[in-house]
Homo-oligomer: A and B are copies of this chain.
């Protein structure tokens, strides 16, 4: 089974682009990734496009636009994990020996909905009953605060850290740093969440060029190795479930660490799915970056700041970089690759050697029918 490496990444700054089409958004990201890889576009043998709301044949439309056509193109949808699932398909295709070089695209245009809740599925009965994502995560936050004594101030620190990181990231949608007071004083959304504890809506695109490790070594001196590529789905569990334990991430992280042959203590930098402030704290524990119930003191200690034990969401995460859902997973990988190459300037985690990307989403917050994709990279 061939090793797989990332040789090129690119993205556009996340934001609101109501006048642009899906292709308008994606082609600059693809061009940047191909240029970064330093290979002839014709060496790309297959493409995988992750998106949720881009309609039929998004990948084909994007690549026809830039003359990359004729190759097998597959569009992949897995809610917030769409483009990280697309990455996994590319990894499997390379491991199968069928192809050597692949392109992954993540793209989404949420401004086309004009704000508010995203379109509902016919079967989303939880959402119809009011169980929208902010409400669900607010319940998890409330329970966690009750069980472990997490304070509102500790919770707000997630937004403060990620907005600080986003301020140093030219690709981030929200680039103003904020204080704990500003976070807690912003408009209430679903108690305990205020506006600044919820990720913004927006548009974006990101792209990744990856290849068999044998090819990567010929192309550039610093390929980033894919050490693990894991996808899992939620399990239906009747009866009591502890909503402060994101089971799907716990299981996916365990599988990914096993595949990579490393543990959480080896990770220098992580992009985790902080759609709401509490989410990042739950994922610290799910990955084993800290112990159960310790996430509050852990963030307060500065351990997850850039320069700390493990920099979490140095890009600004979903809270600051933004969350155009189909683009999110690929953009996380863009950041991890740049961190492992040491290209991140003011937001660089010093000496980063091992990085993790984590995208999760879907129905009932990933419990029953969610999808969680985790990748581990090393330089």
Which residues from chain A sit less than 8 Å from chain B, CB to CB? 1, 21-23, 52, 54-57, 60-61, 63-64, 67, 69-79, 85, 88-89, 92-93, 95-98, 112, 119, 121-123, 230-236, 251, 362-363, 368-371
Contacts and interface: CB of A to CB of B under 8 A. Distances in A.
Contacts of A97: 1, 95-96
A57 B75 contact: no
B93 A60 contact: no
Contacts of A122: 21-22, 55, 112
Contacts of A230: 72
Contacts of A112: 122
Contact of A234 (B1, B60, B85, B234): B60
A61 B123 contact: yes
Nearest to A82: B75
A23 B363 CA distance: 14
Contact of A123 (B23, B79, B369, B371): B23
Nearest to A123: B21
Given A1-B97, A75-B77, A76-B75, A232 B61 contact: no
A121 to B, nearest CB: 4
24 contacts: A52-B56, A55-B122, A56-B79, A57-B78, A57-B121, A57-B363, A57-B370, A60-B233, A60-B369, A61-B121, A61-B369, A64-B234, A64-B236, A64-B368, A69-B234, A69-B236, A70-B233, A70-B235, A71-B232, A72-B232, A74-B88, A92-B93, A92-B96, A96-B96
A22 B60 contact: no
- Determine which residue in A73, A79, A95 has the highest number of CB atoms from chain B within 10 A of its CB, and name it: A73
Contacts of A231: 72-74
Contact of A22 (B64, B73, B123, B368): B123
A54 B230 CA distance: 24
A78 to B, nearest CB: 6
Given A92-B96, A93-B96, 20 more contacts: A1-B96, A21-B123, A22-B123, A52-B56, A54-B121, A55-B119, A55-B122, A56-B362, A56-B363, A57-B121, A57-B369, A64-B363, A70-B234, A71-B232, A72-B88, A72-B232, A73-B78, A74-B88, A89-B92, A92-B92
Contacts of A57: 77-79, 121, 362-363, 369-371
B121 A67 contact: no
B98 A92 contact: yes
B363 A60 contact: yes
Which 3 residue pairs across A and B have the least CB separation, nearest first?
A: A60-B369, A72-B231, A95-B96
Contacts of A56: 52, 77, 79, 121, 362-363
A16 to B, nearest CB: 16
Interface centre among A71, A93, A230, A233 (most CB of B within 10 A): A233
A78 B57 CA distance: 6
Contact of A71 (B60, B72, B85, B233): B233
A93 B95 CA distance: 9
A55 B121 contact: yes
Contact of A232 (B70, B123, B232, B363): B70
A64 B124 CA distance: 13
